Amino acid sequence: MSAARFKVVIPARYASTRLPGKPLRLIGGRPMLQHVYDRALQSGAETVIIATDDPRIELAARAFSASVCMTSPDHTSGTERLGEVVEKMQWYDDEVIVNVQGDEPLIPPALISQVAADLAGHADATVATLAHAVANAADAQDPNVVKVVRDQFGYALYFSRAVIPFCRDAQDTDAVRLLRHIGLYAYRAGFLRHYRKLEAAPIEQAEKLEQLRVLWHGLKIYVGMALQMPGPGVDTEEDLLFVESLI
């Protein structure tokens, strides 16, 4: 896998139902967002920008010398927020942009560069993302663990919170590997400019998975097999304590 030129945008919102002020919660004495930013810098990205609509996040990010782009509070997803950054920065349509979520303080830098290279190496893909094998039966049944099915060339057939593929006959379970989707995406800047113009898909709204909008409109998502296991993300107070114990 050859290296690719790419940029990273980290969308960060202050509001969080389960963990208010999540990007600024401290882990090892530093804001969680700073851990994410540092790992993005280590990935080899040409540029790393934090995209936010909250002045508290802007102030904290500038305190650790991060580049910040202030965006509208009206975006419904991180993908839409990236689209505004692309417009404001006037990036060329063919540039590769990686969306790194602001609640992934243990994201391996190698995965960021991997997903960028995957998109650069698959010209017919609109989006690239990653997956790894589902670890256990509990994860397979957990609706918070998103599953993905790929075709023989590595392109996504479907994403779901349900168990997919469902093996009707028990003897087939060993032959089919369940894959867990990793919420790390690479896009071309031109796609991000037009994302908001794509009508929301019924399957997207039913599953609450925005990547299904891409498939619904007939576009391709390349799903690479992650070269490293990602660290745990942070959604709750318990997650925060666990990640802090690891760091």
Residues 185-205 have pLDDT tens digits of 999 999 999 998 899 999 999
CA pair distance 119, 112, nearest whole angstrom: 11
For position 77, what pLDDT does the model report? 87
Q: Are the C-beta atoms of 34 and 72 separated by less than 8 Å?
A: no
Spell out the domains of the chain, with CATH numbers in brackets.
7-246 (3.90.550.10)
What the block records as the tokens of 112 is: 């960021």
User: Residues 3, 129, 92, 55: is their CA dihedral positive or negative?
Assistant: negative
For position 113, what pLDDT does the model report? 97
HSE-CB of 193 using CA atoms within 13 angstroms? 14
110 in helix, strand or coil? helix
The set of residues, in sequence order, having a beta carbon less than 8 Å from that of 22 and lying 6+ positions away, is 14, 16, 32, 102, 103, 234
52 in helix, strand or coil? strand
Residues 114-167 have pLDDT tens digits of 999 999 999 999 999 999 999 888 999 999 999 999 999 999 999 999 999 988
Beta carbons within 10 angstroms of residue 88's beta carbon: 13
Q: How far is CA 231 from CA 104, 127, 134, 139, in A?
A: 8, 22, 14, 15
For position 173, what pLDDT does the model report? 61
Q: Flag whether pLDDT at 2 surpasses 60.
A: no
For position 224, what pLDDT does the model report? 98
Q: 213 φ, ψ to 5°? A: -60, -35
Better-scored residue on pLDDT, 63 or 237:
63
Q: What angle do CA 12, 14, 16 make, to 5 degrees?
A: 105
Whole-structure pTM value: 0.93
Average confidence (pLDDT) over 64-90: 93
Beta carbons within 10 angstroms of residue 231's beta carbon: 16
Provide the mean pLDDT of the chain.
92
Task: Look up residue 87 and give its amino acid.
Answer: E
CA pair distance 96, 2, nearest whole angstrom: 14
HSE-CB of 226 using CA atoms within 13 angstroms? 23
What the block records as the tokens of 233 is: 């993300």
48 in helix, strand or coil? strand
Strands 96-99 and 179-188: antiparallel
Specify the DSSP class assigned to residue 230.
P
For position 41, what pLDDT does the model report? 97
For position 99, what pLDDT does the model report? 97
For position 32, what pLDDT does the model report? 93
For position 172, what pLDDT does the model report? 61
CA pair distance 247, 244, nearest whole angstrom: 5
Average confidence (pLDDT) over 226-242: 89
For position 39, what pLDDT does the model report? 97
% of the chain at pLDDT higher than 90: 76
